[in-house]
Amino acid sequence: MQVPILKQGPYLIATIQSALTDADIVLLRDALVERVGRDRARGVIIDVTALDVMDSFATGTLQDVAQMVRLRGAETVIVGIQPDVAFAMVHMGLTLEGVATRLDLEEGLDFLNRTTRASAHR
């Protein structure tokens, strides 16, 4: 299942709506990294509220997305990780090191507004 990527002002929002295969996640990664340049986006929000499992491949790939997006000049934030999912991930050592995480879409937008505005002033 393909993940729709919406453009909202200077941000791209990808809302994952059901469990994804590894191939789907790779597709999402490539699409996001590509769209950041094409749409001149300053931030990317990946919403995982609907996921009740996050395995090592998914977290690893999302981590890659965050790094690649940063190299292309934008910030990434992952939102909506469920409490049970979070604890299970941490138990497996999947801590999404170096990736910003926020409670939900609203918090994610707030985070991007702060960080990207700060960098625009530089």
Partner 1 sequence: MGVTELRTPSKPAPESTAALLRELVSHLGDNRTQLREEWIRRITEARLLQAMSKEEIFAEATSVYDSYVEALETRTLETLQTYAQNLSERIIPRGVETHEVVGIVLLLRDVLARSLFSKYHSDSRVLNGMLDAYEPAANAIAITVAVGFVRERERIIREQQEAIRELSTPVLQVRERLLILPIIGLIDPLRARQLTEQLLRGIRANRAKVVVIDITGVAAMDASVANHLVLTVESARLLGARVIVTGLSPEIAQTLVNIGVDLGKMNTVGDLQGGIEEAERLLGYKVMPFAETQPA
Q: For partner 1, which is the closer residue by CB, 57 or 87?
A: 87
Minimal distance in Å, beta carbon 43 to partner 1?
15
Q: How do 11-15 and 5-8 pair as beta strands?
A: antiparallel
Conformation bin of residue 62: beta by default, left when phi > 0, alpha when psi is -120 to 50: alpha
Residues contributing to the site for partner 1 (CB under 8 A): 79, 81, 83-84, 86-87, 89-91, 95-96, 101-104, 107
Strand order in the sheet with 100-102: 5-8, 11-15, 43-47, 75-79, 100-102
Q: Record the tokens describing residue 91, joined without a space.
A: 């138990």
Q: For partner 1, which is the closer residue by CB, 2 or 93?
A: 93
Q: For partner 1, which is the closer residue by CB, 38 or 91?
A: 91
Task: Decide: helix, strand or coil at residue 46.
Answer: strand
Minimal distance in Å, beta carbon 85 to partner 1?
8
Minimal distance in Å, beta carbon 28 to partner 1?
19
